[in-house]
Amino acid sequence: MRIVMNKYFLSLIVLLIFSSCEKATDSNDENDPLRIISPSQGSVWEAGKAFLIRWVNETGKPVSIDLYRSDSLITQLGVFAHIMNEFEYQVPASFIPSENYTLSIYVCDKPEMQAVSGEFRINETANLTPSCSITDPRDGKYILKGETVYVSIEADDPDGEVSSIKIYIDGEFEGQVQKSSYVFPWGTSNTEKGLHTIEACAIDNDNAESPVSKVVVVIRDEMSPVELVAVPGGNFNMGSYNGDYDEMPVVQVYITRDFYMGKYEVTNRQYADILTYALSQGELTGDYQNNITVRNLKGVSQELIDIDDSDCEISYNGTVFVPDNGKENRPAVEMTWWGAAFFCNMLSRQLNVNELYELDTWKCNFENTGFRLPTEAEWEYAAKYNSERSYPWGDSAPNLTKCNHANNFLHTTDAGSFSPQGDSQLGICDMAGNAWEWCNDWYNYYPTTYPMLTDPTGYDAGYLKVLRGGNIHSSDYNIRTTYRNCYSMGSGVFHGARVVLSIR
C-alpha cells in the first residue's frame, strides 16, 4: 500500500511540473516566448518623465502589460498587438517613490502565460527649472540717454509657478519683479553712453533659477545711431561652385561667437555726424574747409572720403559736415577703406568701447569689444544665414521690390527702402545693391588646403580690400551672396560700409 501511494504522489508531482510549464515565465529566460527586456532589475525611472518599455512576444497573440508596486496593481498600461515590442510610457508625476515596482506582461486570452520584470525603482519628480526670456528691449537696441527702459520678460515654470524675476544691469543686481508683473523700469539718466547688458533670471516657488536671459543695448546721445541686428554664431559653407573662380573652393566656416551687424549701410547723415564728432576731437586734417579732401590727423594720414567727387553727398558748411538736402538717409559713398575703418573707431569712441583700428598700421584688433568692419566670412554668413541662398532674401530673382541694382533707379536709395522684401533672414537691409560694402579682409583666393576654417579674418597683407553686395549698377550675378569684388583702399564708385560690433 505504501509503495502504491508513493507512485501516486510521484505521478502527481510530475503532472504538476508539466502543467506549470505553460504558466508564469517570470525568469525572463532568453528562450521564453514572452519576456520583458526593459526595465531590467535595478533600473531607475523618474516620475513625470517618459521611459521605453521593451519586450519579446513570440506567442503570436496580443498581450497586456500591468504595473505593480509590492504586488499591488497600480495601473494597466494597455493591450498591445503581437507585432509590437516596445512602448513609451509617461510616468505620472504623482507616483509614489519606491524600489518595489514591477511590470507584468501576459497573453490576453491566456493570463496564466505571463512574464514579470525584475524590480525597479521610481524616483520622485525632479524640480524642473523655469524659463525666462527678455522680450523688450531687443538685443542690440539703441536707447536715448535719459529714457526709462521698460524691461519686459516672459517667464514660465513647467511644474509650478514663477515667484519673481531678478534683474541685473552690467552684472550688478538692479532689482526684483514679483509675479504680478514681469516689467521692470530701468532709468538711464545716470547711465554712461555705450554698451550695457541687461540680464534676467526667473525663480520658481521651489527656489529653482532659470538660465539667464541676456541682451546688449547701447545708450546713446542725440547723434544718429547705427541700428544693430544680433547675428548668432554657427557654421556655413562659404563660396559657390556655380560662381566665379575666386568663389571656389567651397569651405566650411565656423563662426564661434555671436556678433552684431548694422541693420543698414552707413548713411550720409551718420557719416557726416561722425566727421563732425571727429573734428571736435581734433582728429581731422586736410582741406575740408574748401571741400577738397578730409583726412585723419593721427597715425598714418589717409583720405577718408572723396569729398570733392560729384557722387559724394556730404560737404563741410564752414562749421559742421552735413549731408545733401533730401539725401540724408542714402548710403554714404565715395568712402575709402580707411574712411570706413575710421568711422568704426570714432563710433567706438562715442560709445565708450575700444577703438579696434591702430592708425599707424591700420590693423584691426579682433580680441576686444568695439566696432569694426565685418570680415568677409561674417558678411557672407549674415547674408545667407541659415541656408545656402543665392540672394539675401532667398533664391528668387531680383526685382524692383527687393533691391536697387542694374541701373533701375540711377542713384542710391534711402537705407531700408526695400524692406522687408529684400531683407536677409535676420532682417538686415540692402545687402544686395545700393552701395558696395567694404570688408576688413585683404583680397586673395580662398585657401585650398583647409577644408574647414574657424573665425577666419583673411590674409595678413595684400594690395586690395574685399567689397561685397554690389551697387546700383551691378547685375543679378554680381549681387549674389557669394560674389566677391575687390578694390584698392581708395574711394571708388558707390563704395560704402556696414559696421559690425564684436563683444569680447
The pLDDT assigned to 290 comes to 96
CATH number of domain containing 388: 3.90.1580.10
Residue 287 placed within a domain: yes
**DSSP letter (8 states) at residue 251:** E
Question: Three cell numbers at 52?
Answer: 521605453
- Tell me the pLDDT tens digit for each residue of 335-363: 999 999 999 999 999 888 899 999 999 99
Residue 4 placed within a domain: no
| Residue at 20: amino acid letter | S
The pLDDT assigned to 13 comes to 41
CB contact at 8 A, 98 and 123: no
Last residue in a domain, options 123, 142, 176: 123
Residue 17 placed within a domain: no
Residue 7 placed within a domain: no
Last residue in a domain, options 192, 222, 252: 222
Residue 90 placed within a domain: yes
CATH number of domain containing 174: 2.60.40.10
Is there a single domain that holds both residue 213 and residue 325?
no
The pLDDT assigned to 223 comes to 65
Per the structure, the count of domains in the chain is 3
Is there a single domain that holds both residue 248 and residue 265?
yes
Residue 5 placed within a domain: no
Is there a single domain that holds both residue 398 and residue 265?
yes
Residue 371 placed within a domain: yes
d(CA 228, CA 195): 12
Last residue in a domain, options 89, 123, 157: 123
Residue keyed to cell 547688458: 197
Is there a single domain that holds both residue 288 and residue 412?
yes
Is there a single domain that holds both residue 188 and residue 243?
no
Is there a single domain that holds both residue 31 and residue 139?
no
Residue 10 placed within a domain: no
Per the structure, the complete domain to which residue 41 belongs is given by: 22-123
Residues of the chain with pLDDT under 70: 1-28, 180, 222-224
Is there a single domain that holds both residue 380 and residue 435?
yes
What distances in angstroms separate CA 79 from CA 23, 64, 76, 82, 499, one per listed residue? 19, 4, 9, 10, 63
Beta bridge partners of 428: none
Is there a single domain that holds both residue 251 and residue 345?
yes
- Tell me the pLDDT tens digit for each residue of 208-266: 889 999 998 888 876 657 889 999 999 999 999 999 999 999 999 999 999 999 999 99
The pLDDT assigned to 5 comes to 42
Phi, psi of 464 (to 5 degrees): -125, 150
d(CA 346, CA 360): 16
**DSSP letter (8 states) at residue 167:** E
The pLDDT assigned to 224 comes to 59
Is there a single domain that holds both residue 438 and residue 481?
yes
Phi, psi of 75 (to 5 degrees): -160, 155
What distances in angstroms separate CA 72 from CA 66, 106, 111, 125, 225, one per listed residue? 10, 16, 17, 22, 70
Neighbours of 490 (CB within 10 A): 16
d(CA 282, CA 297): 8
Is there a single domain that holds both residue 181 and residue 265?
no
CB contact at 8 A, 108 and 141: no
Neighbours of 426 (CB within 10 A): 18
Is there a single domain that holds both residue 421 and residue 467?
yes
Is there a single domain that holds both residue 191 and residue 290?
no
